[in-house]
Structure 1
């Protein structure tokens, strides 16, 4: 996985440290980290002066804290301190210290690439944490175990432990760990190039992070999302996220994550083919890595530098960095890094004509790719996706059943109340009075039915008149003109060249007739037969892209730019067929009233419970009087476009009906000669996802 696995970041309280390991500290480390380690050493010195024994829990905790701080600087110090803390904890029966010591040893072996040994230590730590009822320690180690299986390429087992962590985190309301594990599951989907599912989990992570309110956690997520967006070639969002994360890491002096964020920024510039800028940010990351002992994070950095140099035709430098990355990948058994190194070295050797060496690296690349893409990994992730969808549908069904049950109880109570009243009346009035009341009730009911039928007939008659009016006004003209041209050509009064000169106009008229008939059929169905709205999770961006493709020819004929600003996650709870009609009418309407060289923009603004979609043009605009008529059902308002395009006047009325049937509203802002902006709202799609590590 080409991104950082999220781990718990410890905050200094009073954790572990030994004076004997001071020799491992190096003066040239970053000020923030050195200051923290010096602070811990000072704390330990105070404990010794106060006569605190090594077996004391405070002393052991301080020793373990120093061990963790040594991880990215002198890794062997982490091992020495953790072993000493483990021994002291076992001698004094301090189970929490023993669990933390096993965790630190697991971290040491993980960074050494000895994943089986790391997992063994993490499992020991988790077992002890379970014995003492410390859910925080257990959660941390479950997450660590899953991460190790991820490094080994066994995503199915990684997913198994992540799901265990999700369940435990929800039970104990551990929001930070829930965020971490959910994000790690998103990273598993990224490794399988399932970006849609990954973004669903990232959306859940962002929501959890907002509840937590920790800027460092938010920055870590933004760094991983920046890497994901870069993989998706959504470079604008990638740059936005990485710049925000860099600002926080620089402010908080989180150097290991800052090195990672610099590397991601270099990756984005590499994707943009700005190779010199890519090299600049890669060098910034490389400078930080000179003071960090973080082989796993250095591998993608070295590969990025190799790619940038290869693009700059500095093949020999590229090969040096790629081989260094390959060496680190083999050292810590990083199969994901090995795959990327092999791909780069294949390209380098192929370019210089060493086909034998190129074939060797290609075979290595294929072997590692098969390992990472094996069926059980894909099957596990697919099963999780299916389970989440099932749980979502189940929760929705439960909610609907509860609402239905509540209504039934309400109706039952009302019925019982009415029954009591009826029984009371029955005892007080005579039989004839009851009969008379029943007759009156029947008479009123029949009168109401007659009034409803009369109103329905009136509406049908108005619909018929409107249909005939539109057919006579907007369809008969173009059809008659078409017939006249054919008659002139047939009778020889028009040459073939003259007739061909009218073909573009005829095509435009036929397109207008087709569009008008579609609107008439849709509107007629809603008015005469009633249309059934079937809401479901609807991807508005997909609908917009289809309609842009459909209307591109019309836009090109007027040199109008069609711009889509909808994100991939613009999911609404609506009828997709009805939304297709609404989007098509609004875009067509915008094209109609926008002059040549204009621009039509379609976008969406995310609100708490709904999406606000807009279709904006810089056309001729409308006055207040026109805006008051365009959505009216009782009258048809038709205007000619900038190229004398015709319309039925039904489009916006039809849009209003369909938006309202999907629990939304529609409105317009416009000014003459400045353009119009049509807005409508739709409920968000119902979705509940969980998990990360």
Structure 2
């Protein structure tokens, strides 16, 4: 893990800065004409809060809320923007990504409104960093690029070097080490030229992390030792803790567990003075691996579980992945195969999520964009040179009329060619945009397909493979294996149900599914599905009630409606606790039937309801008995209902159950005469 550059050093001789700012606040408050509208007072509140970003107390949020309130009362836009930036940092440290992004976005808008480019640069750096933490590398790099352009334009060398370093971090996270090293070295060189040894040390720390991952331990140790000396000199505690952790990681990669633990313990001492959960995750997991290497399983498990708890708290998937693998090895060594299998499944699921290459493609596209922009700059330069040459010919033509005429003809001819080229370029651009839209649609379909396969099929299959491997290797007895049979059966049923939905959805996406309407009795279709799902209902003691009358005739594609009903009943069973009830009913309207599937389950909030039918949603949840979903069923239901000229919606409230409604056309006598 590389450490992101903040907009300014958070922990630079923190106590001195804190004391100094506190004295300024007291001196302002002591004035006879003191007012909370004083912009100096508001700025000092914001800066003091910023200096306490990594303070274990909530001083940052308390001071920032005051500053935000006073700024709005005084209509002081810069103070409001700074306060929103600090609030974003507070929520970022808590792992509350959505709230952090919302505050940063508002802060940037205000900085634009008051035309303060240096303030905007500070916020852009934090804004992009938050997208990096959220795993949206495409948006992160886009904001970093915007920041570098602005930094060059206004000549802000300090933030320009930080932005370069953070772009290096993006490429490092994609294991594109060569590109990352280019950015780090460029930022380091820039800081050396300006005599900024602290930011130069930050570049060296991240270079050390890269070299450690590349197993170039000599370069890693050289860079980390150089950075530690600078951070100790200036007391930059957060970066010093990170450098200690890097040194521990370098020894760990070399299996020198005792020295790894020595530096991890140095890092741990610093973390007692700062509040940095993201940095603590790698530290704790590194300590767990070191103790495991030394054979101290108890301490290894303690630190791995602590790291996993923090990773879950701040929603950090990379941390969960590393901890799950460590705990898998620990439980396997203790012959706790059930626990080992559970952690292996967690590791597999998180690994599949992280391996999706959507963000990597975004980086590749943006890298292409950078190359394209560079080519455009070169083209503009060539055009300017050509224009200068043409101007020279024009002046020369004044002396010789003949040359003037020739030059005029050449220019005229060149303009005609240029128009043709421009027109051709415009046509090619239109074709390219059209193809890009088509490619994006295909990529979205493919991404969704592989996402579902990765999340909902690979996990159960991986669990089965691991169990069979353990049985074959003699790690578990046949009697122990039989205990897993009910789980394996549920997994196979889940795979079968998911494949059925997947094939149906795939046909609709590839335009292979044709809707063939016919008249059929809805009550019979519902009865068949109740029989099919009766065993699941019986296992949870849920009553399935079919209230649909015998004369409910529908004009739709029977196979597609069969999928809709099966998914909705299955979904209702999934979220209904034991001894509950699921009711299927149909009410006759003017020209259609309104069908309902109502359960007495756990219900859902409005936020969840809004996400249910989104076209690109493949959100997977677990039922009241930990049943797995497909992540596809409801969006598939929506497509099928709409293909049959109906509509679907949901009504629900937490703890009051859920009811899904959808409409289908009535079967009319005139329909029967249509061939």
TM-score, scaled to structure 1:
0.54
Name the SS of the counterpart of 2:8 in structure 1.
coil
Determine the structure 1 residue equivalent to 2:285: 303
Distance 1:411 1:134 in 2: 45
Contact 1:54 1:88 in 2 (8 A): yes
Name the SS of the counterpart of 1:72 in structure 2.
coil
Determine the structure 2 residue equivalent to 1:335: 317
Determine the structure 2 residue equivalent to 1:435: none
2:192 equivalent to 1:210? yes
Distance 1:414 1:313 in 2: 86
Distance 2:398 2:294 in 1: 84
The 5 Å alignment of 1:510-521 reads none
2:299 equivalent to 1:317? yes
Pair 1:218–1:67, CA change in 2 (3 A): same
Distance 2:136 2:112 in 1: 25
The 5 Å alignment of 1:567-586 reads none
Contact 1:186 1:201 in 2 (8 A): yes
Distance 2:51 2:176 in 1: 35
Determine the structure 2 residue equivalent to 1:6: 5
Cα displacement string for residues 168-223 of structure 1 (whole angstroms, at most 9, x for unaligned residues): 32332322222222221211111111112222322332333234331111111111
Determine the structure 1 residue equivalent to 2:181: 199
Contact 2:188 2:199 in 1 (8 A): no
Determine the structure 2 residue equivalent to 1:244: 226
2:47 equivalent to 1:48? no
The 5 Å alignment of 1:80-95 reads 80-95=62-77
Determine the structure 2 residue equivalent to 1:366: 348
Offset, 1:254: 0.8
Which structure would you say has the larger Rg?
Answer: 1
Determine the structure 2 residue equivalent to 1:179: 161
Determine the structure 2 residue equivalent to 1:113: 95
Distance 2:166 2:158 in 1: 13
Name the SS of the counterpart of 2:229 in structure 1.
helix
Name the SS of the counterpart of 1:61 in structure 2.
helix
Distance 2:383 2:218 in 1: 44
Offset, 1:249: 0.6
Give ranges in structure 1 of 5+ residues lacking alignment. 12-29, 421-693
The 5 Å alignment of 1:287-302 reads 287-302=269-284
Distance 1:412 1:244 in 2: 60
Q: 1:35 aligns with which of 3, 7, 16?
A: 16
Distance 2:113 2:395 in 1: 52
Offset, 1:88: 0.9
Q: 1:65 aligns with which of 34, 47, 56?
A: 47
Distance 1:186 1:143 in 2: 13
Pair 1:139–1:31, CA change in 2 (3 A): closer
Pair 1:32–1:211, CA change in 2 (3 A): closer
Name the SS of the counterpart of 2:275 in structure 1.
coil
Offset, 1:375: 2.4
Q: 1:276 aligns with which of 243, 255, 258?
A: 258
Cα displacement string for residues 311-344 of structure 1 (whole angstroms, at most 9, x for unaligned residues): 1111211111111111111111112212221221
Distance 1:90 1:209 in 2: 37
Offset, 1:292: 1.0
Cα displacement string for residues 435-454 of structure 1 (whole angstroms, at most 9, x for unaligned residues): xxxxxxxxxxxxxxxxxxxx
Give ranges in structure 2 of 5+ residues lacking alignment. 403-675
Distance 2:380 2:80 in 1: 45
RMSD, matched Cα: 2.8
Q: 1:166 aligns with which of 131, 137, 148?
A: 148
Distance 2:126 2:132 in 1: 10
Contact 1:86 1:98 in 2 (8 A): yes
Name the SS of the counterpart of 1:171 in structure 2.
helix
Distance 1:248 1:418 in 2: 69
Distance 2:132 2:352 in 1: 15
Distance 1:126 1:234 in 2: 40
Distance 2:140 2:347 in 1: 22
Name the SS of the counterpart of 1:292 in structure 2.
coil
Distance 2:386 2:293 in 1: 63
Q: 1:131 aligns with which of 110, 113, 129?
A: 113
Offset, 1:412: 11
Pair 1:160–1:359, CA change in 2 (3 A): farther
Instruction: For CA contacts below 8 A with separation 6 or more, give which structure has more relative contact order.
Output: 1
Name the SS of the counterpart of 2:58 in structure 1.
helix
Contact 1:37 1:69 in 2 (8 A): yes
Cα displacement string for residues 151-182 of structure 1 (whole angstroms, at most 9, x for unaligned residues): 12222222232233233323323222222222
Cα displacement string for residues 291-325 of structure 1 (whole angstroms, at most 9, x for unaligned residues): 11111111111111111111111121111111111
Aligned residues: 401
Contact 2:97 2:134 in 1 (8 A): yes
